[in-house]
Homo-oligomer: A and B are copies of this chain.
Amino acid sequence: MSDAVDLVLAQWGRERPDVDVWPMGIVGRISRLSRLLDIRLKEFFAEHDLERWEFDVMATLRRSGPPYELTAGALNRAAMITSGAITNRIDRMAKRGLVERVPDETDRRSVRVRLTERGWETVEKLVGPHTENEALLLAALGPRERDRLAGTLRDLLESLGDTSLD
């Protein structure tokens, strides 16, 4: 079997046999996979009247444990977006009553973002179905392959200096 990326590699092989373009076989596939998965996840959350990023923000808060709050900075590092974008997202989620801004007592520059009751329930209801949906999207992989793939991807992430969250 072959996919869109195999075609790319074959074309380069024909047009520029002097260049070994093997890296495209990996970078290209990661890029395309990411986009395809985005689309599928978007569809899933749309069924629940939610944006994917809204779930991501809430899930980040939920899994951080009680009291289910983090600074705005921690959230934008986790989401890998800029500060302007996280301000915008928090604004909209606050309007929907999914999170609330809480002043930080120790550092008054900081804003703590806390999951509301409603936000908590939303995550609680969806973690299971969301995970099952992702499992379905990855159904092509056997248990062995899953572990090996996860391990390889982790090595890559580390080598690229993926910065962890708080």
- Residues of chain A touching chain B, judged by Cβ–Cβ distance below 8 Å, are 1-8, 11-12, 14-16, 19-27, 29-38, 40-41, 62-65, 78, 80, 127-128, 131, 134-135, 137-141, 145-146, 148-150, 152-160, 162-165
Contact = CB atoms under 8 A, between A and B. Distances in A.
Contacts of A62: 15
A160 B34 CA distance: 11
Question: What 6 A-B pairs are tightest by C-beta distance, nearest first?
Answer: A140-B159, A34-B34, A23-B134, A29-B153, A11-B63, A25-B150
A75 to B, nearest CB: 13
Contacts of A34: 30-31, 33-35
22 contacts: A3-B158, A4-B164, A11-B64, A12-B127, A19-B127, A22-B135, A22-B146, A23-B134, A24-B134, A26-B146, A26-B149, A27-B41, A30-B34, A33-B34, A33-B156, A33-B157, A137-B160, A138-B156, A140-B159, A141-B155, A141-B156, A145-B152
